[in-house]
Amino acid sequence: MTSINSQPATGSQGISLLALLDSIERETASALQLDIERLRERYVKNQQVRALHISFVVGWHEMALPVNSMQEVGDMPTITPLPHLPSWIRGIVQIRGEILSVVDFQLLFRLRQERRGALKKSYILFSLDGFKCCLSVNRITGILNVDGQRGRLDACSAEEQTACPELLEFIKGVQVQDARRIFILDGPALAHTPKIRQWR
């Protein structure tokens, strides 16, 4: 008579169960490692795609440039005008011992003037790919974390395209944030435009 409390003998059945579990673990370990590597790659890619930008107002529009394309921002120092320059170059300024041309974004791209004029303009010290200048803007508005993938940014509306046709080639897309429509500018494209580079 067999007792109810008696345990089944450890035999081939117990060994085969352990072997099966080991086999499953070995097979799933490589798939799990592959998943981890894919997640790592996706994280790195996302980190590369998302980038900090400084946002600012020019005329009626809010825009943003990547932080890695600028050295600093601040209140515009006194500008010394120079003769025989295009109207969109306001003159020169001295910032930290450097003499820089002041490029007026609003005049350069023929943007509509802001209704209320800023008492004191701000500047962005733009520096990228060997090109450096002082960009004159109405005011700095903040820092944005921008997803640089074009599919994640809105396209310019028909009204925006009509309002700033000369700026369109430098706009990567529009980020909508708190009911604001912010033009995300292409820093390298701006740095390499012949119109600006010839006057550095």
| The pLDDT of residue 167 | 93
Contact 159, 80 (CB under 8 A): no
User: In the β-sheet with 70-75, what is the strand arrangement from edge to edge?
Assistant: 70-75, 122-128, 131-137, 98-104, 89-95
Name which of 9-18, 49-58, 148-157 the model is least confident about.
9-18
Which 3 state secondary structure label does DSSP give 42? helix
For 168-200, what is each residue's pLDDT tens digit? 999 999 999 888 999 999 999 999 988 887 766
For 73-103, what is each residue's pLDDT tens digit? 999 999 999 999 999 999 999 998 999 999 9
For 122, the token pair is 């701000």
* Residue of 2 and 137 predicted with greater confidence: 137
Which domains are delineated in the chain? Answer: 51-197 (2.40.50.180)
Contact 161, 148 (CB under 8 A): no
| The pLDDT of residue 133 | 93
Which band of pLDDT confidence, cut at 50, 70 and 90, is reported for residue 149?
low
Query: What is the value of pTM for the model shown?
Result: 0.71
Contact 129, 191 (CB under 8 A): yes
Mean pLDDT, the chain, rounded, equals: 81
| The pLDDT of residue 6 | 45
| The pLDDT of residue 195 | 81
CA 45 distance to own-chain centroid: 14
